[in-house]
């Protein structure tokens, strides 16, 4: 079956630094990847949709300059949280889809970001 | 655009009792429907999915869900729950055309008591 790998699983960083999270599709070509954010005891909120080779589409209210998304290859997308602050602490999770949308329901294991 | 409503934020139930977690959706196009389970401090695990075909789908651990197009529902059921079923359950919908992004419901906390 389709596997999506997300790394790191957890990270602690100092306020003001940047953190990069990777999302990889291991056994299929991910034309599209989705990035979600989950606050404690809340649901997953879609942050952005990235298509390989083009700019990401951000959901309303998500800061593009804050959350940089790169999808330069068919197997890798990265989310960089720039100049992180404690309020950025959250659980970030990605999912990947091929061009048929067949794997669109396969999620990575998530990244717990804590900004101190 | 699609949306998902999970009608119960918390469902307490005694062990070995039946349970139903409710989910309703709205969409202007045909959809794929999913239930995910999330244990504390872990990622999402796909529990079951409806893509097409039989409207009743089952998981390997005894859960089942039925797609009801007329009622736009996809309720999750289990005839007899275990303590280990205590977790957060998310219903999700993905439009079957154009993008396939998945929208999640607010989640239902299932708490199984001894």
Buried b or exposed e, range A73-107, using 16+ CB within 10 angstroms: ebbbbbbebeebeeebbbbbbbbbbbeebebbbbb
Chain A residues whose CB is inside 8 A of the B46 CB are: 105-107
User: For chain B, what is the total number of helices (H) and then of strands (E)?
Assistant: 0, 12
**pLDDT at position B99, please?**
60
Chain A residues with CB under 8 Å of B105 CB are 43
State the smallest CA–CA distance between residue B102 and chain A in angstroms. Answer: 7
With a cut of 80, say whether residue A75 has pLDDT above it: yes
Report pLDDT for A97.
Answer: 80
Q: How far apart are CA A46 and CA A33, in angstroms?
A: 11
Distance CA A88, CA A66 (A): 10
Q: What is the tens place of the pLDDT at every residue in B14-26?
A: 999 999 999 999 9
Chain B residues touching A101 at Cβ < 8 A: 94, 96, 99-100
pLDDT tens-digit profile of B2-12? Answer: 789 999 999 99
Average pLDDT over residues B23-47: 87
Binding-face residues of A in 53-82 toward B, CB within 8 A: none
What's the mean pLDDT in B86-111?
86
- The region of weakest confidence among A41-45, B58-62, B79-83, B99-103 is B99-103
In angstroms, the CA A95 to CA A47 distance is 12
- The mean pLDDT of A68-91, rounded to a whole number, is 94
Contact of A97 with chain B, judged by CB distance below 8 Å, is answered with: yes
Q: What is the pLDDT of residues A19-71, one digit of tens each?
A: 999 999 998 888 888 999 998 878 889 999 998 888 899 999 999 999 999 98
């Amino acid at each position: 079956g389709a596997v999506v790998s997300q790394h790191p699983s957890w990270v602690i960083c100092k306020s003001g630094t940047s953190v990069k999270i990777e999302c990889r599709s291991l056994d299929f070509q991910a034309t599209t990847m989705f990035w979600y954010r989950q606050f404690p005891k809340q649901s997953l909120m879609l942050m952005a949709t990235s298509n390989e080779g083009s700019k990401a589409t951000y959901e309303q209210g998500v800061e593009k300059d804050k959350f940089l998304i790169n999808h330069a290859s068919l197997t890798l997308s990265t989310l960089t949280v720039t100049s992180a602050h404690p309020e950025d602490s959250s659980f970030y999770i990605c999912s990947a889809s091929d061009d048929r949308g067949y794997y669109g329901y396969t999620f990575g294991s998530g990244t717990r970001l804590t900004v101190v | 655009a699609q949306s998902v409503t999970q009608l119960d934020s918390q469902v307490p139930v005694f062990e070995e009792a039946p349970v139903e977690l409710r989910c309703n959706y709205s969409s202007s196009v045909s959809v794929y429907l999913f239930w995910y389970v999330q244990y504390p401090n872990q990622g999402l695990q796909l529990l079951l999915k409806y893509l097409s075909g039989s409207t009743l789908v089952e998981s390997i651990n005894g859960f089942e869900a039925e797609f009801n197009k007329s009622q736009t529902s996809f309720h999750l059921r289990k005839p007899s729950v275990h303590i280990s079923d205590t977790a957060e359950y998310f219903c999700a919908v993905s439009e079957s055309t154009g993008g396939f992004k998945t929208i999640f419901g607010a989640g239902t906390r299932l708490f199984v008591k001894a």
